[in-house]
Amino acid sequence: MAPPPPPPEVFQYTIDPSLEEFNVTPKAWIEANKKHFHGIAVSNVVFDDQDRVLLVQRAAHDSMPNRWEVTGGAADEPGDDKFEPVDGAHPRNTILSGAARELWEEAGLVATRFTHLVPQPAEAPLRDATEAPPPYFKDHAGYVYTNRTGTVLYLRFAFHVLVQSTDKVTLDPDEHQDYVWATEEEVRNGMTAAYRDIPATVPATRAYILEAFRLRRQAKEQKL
């Protein structure tokens, strides 16, 4: 039996103007940007009020078992275009709605605002870096990867997301088995302060999460 659709509030987020290009369907974005990817994937970078990022541990029975990442997945899902927006919600078939859906399904969190894109750097920023590291790709800010068989090519974008509350995280056991709120230093070291290993799925995952920390620190400094 398919899981019930997310409640309307999951799609009632607001969007920073800088992200309007992602307020379209994955197909529309690919065609407008003249790309040849099979699909768009999304990742959600969520911080709590202690400047810790939410990391979720992949299930032991899944690919890359027991490794850590942020919530995310394919931006489109069969049937998304059949839902009519209600109660001021966004359409469910856009890239950002896909991110909001994945956040709800994988962590039980409700997005309230998408604030900015987290570009994929070619390498992780150094500790206390002030300048952005070189991009992974010159023509877009995402990361390219394939499915398990190498037959489908995805372009993944990561977004910084504000949520209703960080008090309760509810995992989908089919996909993830644990979570932590990790500091920048813990992500950098791949280990919590309690000496628990939290290895990222791939180096690119660690790199963009650390870039998200750098951008967050930069934004705070600019407000001073």
pLDDT of res. 1: 43
148 CA to centre of own chain: 20
- Token reading at 22: 């992602």
Ramachandran angles phi, psi of 212, nearest 5°: -65, -40
* pTM of the complete model: 0.93
100 CA to centre of own chain: 9
Residue 3 included in any domain: no
Instruction: Provide the CATH number for the domain around residue 172.
Output: 3.90.79.10
Domain holding 216, by residue range, is: 8-223
pLDDT of res. 76: 87
> Is 119's pLDDT higher than 50?
yes
Residue 33 included in any domain: yes
- Looking at 70-79, 103-112, 213-222, which range is the least confident one? 70-79
**For the chain, how many structural domains are there in total?**
1
Residue 1 included in any domain: no
pLDDT of res. 123: 96
pLDDT of res. 5: 76
Residue 87 included in any domain: yes
Residue 158 included in any domain: yes
3-state SS track over the chain: CCCCCCCHHHHCCEECHHHHHHCCCHHHHHHHCCCCCCEEEEEEECECCCCCEEEEEECCCCCCCCCEECEEEECCCCCHHHCCCCCCCCCCCCHHHHHHHHHHHHHCCCEEEEEEEECCECCCCCCCCCCCCCECCCCCCCEEEECCCCCCEEEEEEEEEEECCCCCCCCCCCCEEEEEEECHHHHHHCECCCCCECCECCHHHHHHHHHHHHHHHHHHHHHC
The pLDDT tens digits of the residues spanning 145-180 come to: 998 888 999 999 999 999 999 999 999 999 999 999
> Is 2's pLDDT higher than 60?
no
Residue 170's CB is within 10 A of a number of other CB atoms, namely: 11
Residue 129 included in any domain: yes
> Half-sphere exposure of 171 toward its Cβ, with a 13 Å CA cutoff?
15
Question: Which of residues 89 and 214 earns the better pLDDT score?
Answer: 214
> Is 104's pLDDT higher than 70?
yes
> Is 81's pLDDT higher than 70?
no
pLDDT, mean over the chain: 93
> Is 79's pLDDT higher than 70?
no
Q: Which of 68-77, 84-93, 182-191 has the highest mean pLDDT?
A: 182-191
Question: Which of residues 222 and 194 earns the better pLDDT score?
Answer: 194
Distance CA 220, CA 174 (A): 37
- Token reading at 158: 């990561």
Residue 94 included in any domain: yes
- Token reading at 124: 């992780």
Distance CA 98, CA 40 (A): 9
